[in-house]
Amino acid sequence: MQQFLVQGAEVAALEDEFSSAADGRHAVAVASATSGLQLALLSLGIGAGEEVILPSFAPVETAAAVRRAGAVPVFADIDPLTFCLDPEAVAAAITPLTVAILPVHLFGHPAAVDQITDIAARHGLAIIEDATQAQAATLAGRRVGTYGVLSVFAVEEGAVVTTEHPELAGAVKRLRDTAHAEARMADGKASVGRGVLAKLAGAVARQRANCRYLDSALTGVLVPYVEPGAHHVYHRYTVRIPGNGRPDRDAFAMALAARGVQASVSIPTPVHRMPEYRSSSFLPRTEKAAGETLSLPVHPGLTEKELERMATACNTLGGLL
């Protein structure tokens, strides 16, 4: 019956274990990453008419959380190499209505949160980190999720909000348990999350080993860039396809599928191009990334033979487009 019990012993245990893994920060378990980000914003009093800067090249759920909090998502362009928020673009997007910056550690690569923190401090803005794809990632030896006043991590089918401030953790819990009861986590999901958390280090190590092999073996695509000092955990192994943008990328993916390699387009449409979030923002690097990127499978269960077959297929096709 664990799947029907909410906020029980398993949830409490997950919060304790996650806190230990997050250098002692307070941890609050919630039903989803969207709920976690929404409650993080609300705990800071962010709401109607206030602006939050975030990337358009990101899962739509991040922008949805801003909307659900009543705030206005303002999209800034990305670094063309890391695919994360460009600090200069963030600075240029600040207005008198801006109250927060929401960097996304996309695909497992840390955003430039060290530089973004400096920008936020100069303008008196809060930082909320979307670390849903980057648990165990670091920047200059410091864990992602420790730069923002609040951060949100994914745990299998749910999420955990972390903060070093007990009063904010208390505010998130009160919001979760009262006005936003749909954000409460079921014990069954917490139990699964605990199991994944216990195996995280080994899974990340195996996945990174797969990525290192592809880094050295691939010649037909542009492999992921890693910023000096960054520890990339490769939630997605996202490459660029040389050629003429989206048509060649899509043709490449179809040709890989015909050879038994199931690649995916992680972000087919930037959020600012979706009808419900459409804006006049000029984000050329975002548009280019959306048309050129493809995520290759690198999960820990891949065999050496499967990796070799994938590399051979990519390298062969790379010379045909």
Considering the domain delimited by 201-318, tell me its CATH architecture: Alpha-Beta Complex (3.90)
Crossing angle of helices 200-217 and 304-318, in 10° steps, is: 40
Long-range pairs of 166-175 with CB within 8 A, sequence gap ≥ 24? 166/26, 168/26, 168/43, 168/44, 169/26, 169/27, 169/28, 171/42, 171/43, 172/28, 172/30, 172/39, 172/40, 172/43, 173/28, 175/39, 175/42, 175/43
**Cα distance between residue 136 and residue 21, in whole Å:** 9
What is the pLDDT at residue 5?
67
CATH among 3.30.465.10, 3.40.50.300, 1.10.3720.10, 3.40.640.10 for 2-198 = 3.40.640.10
201-318 has the same fold as 2-198: no
What is the pLDDT at residue 156?
84
What is the pLDDT at residue 137?
97
b (16+ CB within 10 A) / e for 81-119: bbbbbbbebbbebbeeebbbbbbbbbbbbbbbbeebbeb
**pLDDT per residue as tens, the chain (321 positions):** 444 567 789 999 999 999 999 989 999 999 999 999 999 999 999 999 999 999 999 999 999 999 999 999 999 999 999 999 999 999 999 999 999 999 999 999 999 999 999 999 999 999 999 999 999 999 999 999 999 999 999 998 899 999 999 999 999 999 999 989 899 999 999 999 999 999 999 999 999 999 999 999 999 899 999 999 999 999 999 999 988 889 899 999 999 999 999 999 999 999 999 999 999 899 999 999 999 999 999 999 999 999 999 999 999 998 555
What is the pLDDT at residue 320?
56
What is the pLDDT at residue 318?
80
Return the H-helix or E-strand segment holding 304. Answer: helix 304-318
What is the pLDDT at residue 87?
98
Q: Where are the domains of the chain?
A: 2-198, 201-318
CA 128, 132, 136, 140 torsion: positive or negative? negative
